[in-house]
Copies of this chain bind each other. A is one copy, B any other.
Amino acid sequence: MRSEARTGVWFVGARGSVATTAVVGALGVSHGLAPSTGLVSELAELDPDGLTPLGNLVFGGHDISSTTLTKKAESLVAGGVVPAEILIAVAADLEAVDADVCLGHAAGEETTEEAVERLAGDIADFRRRYDLVRVVVVDVASTQPPVDDPEQLTCLDDDLPVGAVYALAAFRAGAPFVSFTPSPCLRLPVVIEAAARAGLPYAGCDGKTGETLLKSVLAPMFVMRALELRSWTSVNLLGGGDGETLSDPAAARSKTVAKRSGLDAMVGRSVPGPMHIDHVEDLGEWKTAWDHVRFDGFLGTRMTLQFTWEGCDSALAAPLVLDLVRLVSAAHAAGLSGPLPELAFFFKDPVGATEHRLSEQWRDLVAWRAGLAG
């Protein structure tokens, strides 16, 4: 019976902010300590009762950091992301999850083949250990730089980005894969072919949580109203771990490319304007985005929209990660394989899809979910 079948969630980057918030949150919500706010998969349109309950998820993962989930969770409490009382209530469970975190893979320390074999072994062990019906692997590791010629990466001997190594390991272990980070890995022939061979579904890339989410409703508004976008300036101030990673220009490029392409796709042409991602240490787990949009109206009248978004990134990302686990799990159960374009709703840079407008993505998602359920 479904409600008894347990599903594994294997995080790449299991000790990071997003993974930790997802674990603490799943435990907290399933114990009734917090409402289901932010969980799209709990909306009636997605038939939550037909999805794996949060309480049936079992967590583990890879990381290269030795800071435990508990320590990370404490810093999330201090940063105002996780309420202290929830952490206290789930502390023991959290330590148990940390015991299921294995050493991750860092470029250069083993051959790709060795790494894939080892990592796949960890995932398979985890599934056996807990007698799980399936494991969904979700990459929430640090952002990595883009790759120059993705289409040239066709075999394990090529110099593969670490995200691809994890995807290959997931597929070798028979697990569907979700890339929640900005990553080229789901566009590499070597990865696509491995998924096809294994008959497994995958989804990505780069969770759509803040400014890009707003763009995905605001840009269509301008288009539907025949208003002419003249420039769109985006400034993102990020504290915390990912902010630090993104202060490396190469990594940031991954992110800005993903963010910009969606806007241009929705508008049907390139909209000029600077895009900044800045690390502002003291913002901690929080992010402030300021966008300045110049558009023309009737007879060329010059108008402006500005917005400031003050969000907690991990709190925005974590429930989507859980939604993706539940939906990809359902897709796997239904025997789907290859890219899942109907999950574009969740991503900045959706694999297999060209639709960036949120409302249309929502409609596609709801229809797809209804089809799965039927």
Contact = CB atoms under 8 A, between A and B. Distances in A.
Contact of A297 (B37, B228, B274, B281): B37
The A interface is mostly helix, strand or loop, or mixed, namely mixed
Contact of A37 (B283, B298, B357): B298
A142 interface: no
A279 to B, nearest CB: 8
Contacts of A281: 231, 272
Nearest to A299: B34
B224 A40 contact: yes
A369 to B, nearest CB: 13
Contacts of A38: 225-227, 297-299
Interface string A225-246: 1111011010101000000000
A42 interface: yes
Contacts of A80: 80, 301
A81 B82 CA distance: 17
Nearest to A323: B226
Contact of A316 (B25, B39, B298): B298
Interface in A212-258: 213-214, 216-218, 220-221, 224-228, 230-231, 233, 235, 237
A276 interface: yes
* Stoichiometry (number of copies): 4
A312 B308 contact: no
A231 B299 contact: no
Given A226-B43, A359-B359, A298 B280 contact: no
B235 A40 contact: no
Given A225-B40, A273-B280, A25 B312 contact: no
Contacts of A17: none
A224 B362 contact: yes
Interface stretch (A103-111, A151-159, A179-187, A288-296): A288-296
A294 B283 contact: yes
Contact of A303 (B35, B214, B218, B312): B312
A299 B226 contact: no
A220 to B, nearest CB: 7
Contacts of A227: 37-38
Contacts of A300: 34-35, 37, 83
A19 to B, nearest CB: 13
A309 to B, nearest CB: 5
A55 interface: no
A306 B303 contact: no
Interface in A295-333: 296-301, 303-312, 315-316, 318-319
The 10 closest A-B pairs by CB, nearest first: A359-B359, A38-B298, A301-B315, A307-B307, A274-B278, A230-B282, A217-B217, A297-B315, A298-B315, A304-B310
Interface of A: 21, 24-25, 28-29, 34-40, 42-43, 80-84, 86, 213-214, 216-218, 220-221, 224-228, 230-231, 233, 235, 237, 272-274, 276, 278, 280-283, 288, 290, 292, 294, 296-301, 303-312, 315-316, 318-319, 345, 357-360, 362
